[in-house]
């Protein structure tokens, strides 16, 4: 008679066990995943994986930091890189939590201001982005495909 297969755990049972353990850290959640436990059991693979996560996350953060003054998602890219790093490194997880806390503080402060203050902040941000764009195009050169009527330094 063949051996009975072990009964698979349902999603709700797994969720209840997870809630009972009270593991809420991103790094701990990733570490508890089955694929990550198997990888951690093989020390050379685990070390290589951590190095790869560090390199990829570091590159994403570096790209984000260089694009902060340019138009586009600079800070969002930095946060995405921290998110990648936080899956393996405690220091990145703490930095990500600090960053989220500061963004929430800033957002709460801005939303508590009067409308004219918010409009002034938006106008200052737009002027800064436009200024960075103009300086960048002046230093790097304006591409030929930009029409002559666009108000940029030529």
Q: What is the pLDDT of residue 1?
A: 47
Q: What is the pLDDT of residue 4?
A: 54
Q: What is the pLDDT of residue 139?
A: 81
Q: What is the pLDDT of residue 63?
A: 92
pLDDT tens string 100-150? 899 889 889 999 999 999 999 989 988 888 888 778 777 877 777 777 766
Q: In this model, does residue 3 exceed pLDDT 60?
A: no
| Helix (H), strand (E), coil (C) string for 96-147 | HHHHHHHHHHHHHHHHHCCHHHHHHHHHHHHHHHHHHHHHHHHHHCCCCCCC
3-state helix, strand, coil in the chain (%, to 5): 75, 0, 25
- What is the number of residues in the chain? 154
Q: What is the pLDDT of residue 22?
A: 64
């Amino acid at each position: 008679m063949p051996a009975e297969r072990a009964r698979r755990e349902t999603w709700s049972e797994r969720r209840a066990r997870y809630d009972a353990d009270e593991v809420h850290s991103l790094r701990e959640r990733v570490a508890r995943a089955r694929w990550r436990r198997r990888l951690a059991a093989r020390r050379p693979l685990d070390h290589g994986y951590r190095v790869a996560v560090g390199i990829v996350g570091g590159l994403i953060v570096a790209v984000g930091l260089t694009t902060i003054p340019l138009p586009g998602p600079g800070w969002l890219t930095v946060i995405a890189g921290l998110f990648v790093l936080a899956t393996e490194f405690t220091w990145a997880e703490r930095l990500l939590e600090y960053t989220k806390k500061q963004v929430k503080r800033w957002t709460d402060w801005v939303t508590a201001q009067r409308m004219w203050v918010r409009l002034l902040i938006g106008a200052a941000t737009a002027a800064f982005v436009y200024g960075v764009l103009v300086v960048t195009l002046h230093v790097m050169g304006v591409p030929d495909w930009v029409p002559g009527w666009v108000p940029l330094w030529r």
